[in-house]
Amino acid sequence: MNLEAIQSALRDAGHDGWLFYDHHHRDPIGERILGLDPKAHITRRWYYFIPATGEPRKMMHRIEQGRLDTLPGSKGLYSSWQELASGLEAMLNGANRIVMQYSPNNAIMYVSMVDAGTIEFLRSIGKGIVSSADLVSRFEAVLSESQIASHTVAQKAIDEILQEGWKEIGRRLRPAKGKQGKVTEFDMVQWLSEGMKRANLVWENGPNVSVNANCSDSHYEPTIDHTADIKEGDFLLIDIWGRVDDAESVYYDITWTGVVGREPSEREQLVFETVRNARDAAISVVEKAFFEGRPIQGYEADDAARAVVRTAGFADYFTHRTGHNIAHEIHGPGAHLDNLETHDIRQILPNTCFSVEPGVYLPEFGIRSEIDMITAPGKAWVTGKIQRELVRI
């Protein structure tokens, strides 16, 4: 835990303090920020208050009073619920604007860790509770130089694996002149997975390889028992992600699409160009904001992409957010590019990573074009290869 940085951030934002609360590991965000053991035996409520200035304060149950001993600050103890209530009131004396893992109306559900009853009690003693969403982004999503470097390692490996994967499909379909081969979605999942293992990458689930209508299920996962053949004339989508096998590494996550043994139809080309232009509109909005030094919130990039899709007449088929934060987790704790599933007003911070991945999912096929971006003071950029045309296999 970086106490000095947290207190500086609290003062900058005009908050009186940050109250962390947990019971049975309900708040993994707080555990990570405070540097606590995620496997510690926690059976009683604990509270840790970091004021904007001054010494932190703890409130612990007497039978688990050592759980926060790794953190600085004075310690208060309780056994009864009455003692806890009076102890919390004393611990928070003089603090009125208090940050917690809370989101009004559950708008940013990714940080909604505190139960309603705790919020109700704190309000009953005159405390104003505000969301920690922006502070969580600052302390959880901002990447170090080594983390950004790890993303680059994963990017180079996955870009190469995917490029070779398209060729492998062609080789398996056409093993010799005049002969017809066979390959399934799951076969290619296995092939891509082996390539990532050789590159020392790890990942969760996936990768996903989808043909035709399966491409319209944005979280489709073929298995050995549920897979389709990849055939001449098919439309194909590959979604692949991974990170270096290291405790602090950052994911790389991309999606490309193509056609097998033919040119794309007029409708496929129209949808691809719509998705590509929507992706590029979101990229441009982010690039421009960082170049100008202007703050930008996650929903603004979503709006830019969604406007392109809406103008093309496909709004009803763009059924998810434009992008998600990326960190050590594939869906990270920072701002998402979202004004559909949530109205994400979190600021896109310098030194963060996120995907840009609009999609249009028609009944017969779906297209998503996904790239990753990284930001820094004064600039933002796409980290890997950018698909400009549908792949021809």
Q: Where are the beta strands (DSSP E) in 53-107?
A: 57-61, 74-78, 97-100
Q: What is the CB neighbour count within 10 angstroms for residue 340?
A: 16
Q: Tell me what pLDDT residue 1 has.
A: 81
Q: Tell me what pLDDT residue 218 has.
A: 84
Sorting pLDDT into bands at 50, 70 and 90, what band is 185?
Answer: very high
Could you tell me the pTM of the whole model? 0.89
- Please give the Cα distance from 91 to 48 (Å, whole number): 9
Q: Where are the beta strands (DSSP E) in 264-329?
A: 325-326
- Please give the Cα distance from 255 to 20 (Å, whole number): 38
- Using one digit for the tens of pLDDT, what is the confidence trace for 126-143? 999 999 999 999 998 999
Percent of the chain with pLDDT over 90: 88
Do residues 255 and 237 touch, judged by C-beta distance below 8 A? yes
Region 33-61: mean pLDDT is: 92
Domain spans in the chain, listed from the N-terminal domain onward: 3-140, 143-392
Do residues 321 and 336 touch, judged by C-beta distance below 8 A? yes
Q: Tell me what pLDDT residue 259 has.
A: 97
| Residue 67 DSSP SS3 | coil
Name the architecture of domain 143-392: Alpha-Beta Complex (3.90)
- Whether the bond between 207 and the residue before it is cis, its omega within 30 degrees of 0, is yes
Q: Is the dihedral of CA 122, 103, 13, 46 positive or negative?
A: positive
Region 256-264: mean pLDDT is: 96
Q: Token digits for 41?
A: 């035996």
Among candidate residues 234, 232, 194, 233, the one with its CA nearest the CA of residue 214: 234
Give the list of residues 6+ apart from residue 181 with CB closer than 8 angstroms, or none: 171, 172, 173, 174, 175
Region 176-197: mean pLDDT is: 90
In order, the DSSP letters of 303-314 are: HHHHHHHHHTT-
Q: Tell me what pLDDT residue 42 has.
A: 87
The pLDDT of residue 373 is above 70: yes
- Please give the Cα distance from 76 to 181 (Å, whole number): 71
The pLDDT of residue 386 is above 70: yes
| Residue 226 DSSP SS3 | coil
Name the architecture of domain 3-140: 3-Layer(aba) Sandwich (3.40)
Do residues 185 and 217 touch, judged by C-beta distance below 8 A? no
Do the strands 74-78 and 252-259 form a parallel or antiparallel pair, or are they unpaired?
Answer: unpaired
> What are phi and psi for residue 362, nearest 5 degrees?
-85, 165
- Please give the Cα distance from 130 to 133 (Å, whole number): 9
- Please give the Cα distance from 166 to 209 (Å, whole number): 11
- Using one digit for the tens of pLDDT, what is the confidence trace for 265-296? 999 999 999 999 999 999 999 999 999 999 99
Q: What is the CB neighbour count within 10 angstroms for residue 187?
A: 19
Q: Tell me what pLDDT residue 298 has.
A: 96
| Residue 177 DSSP SS3 | coil
- Please give the Cα distance from 282 to 158 (Å, whole number): 23
Q: Token digits for 13?
A: 């934002």
What's the chain's length in residues? 393
Q: What is the DSSP letter of 235?
A: E
- Using one digit for the tens of pLDDT, what is the confidence trace for 238-259? 999 999 999 899 999 999 999 9
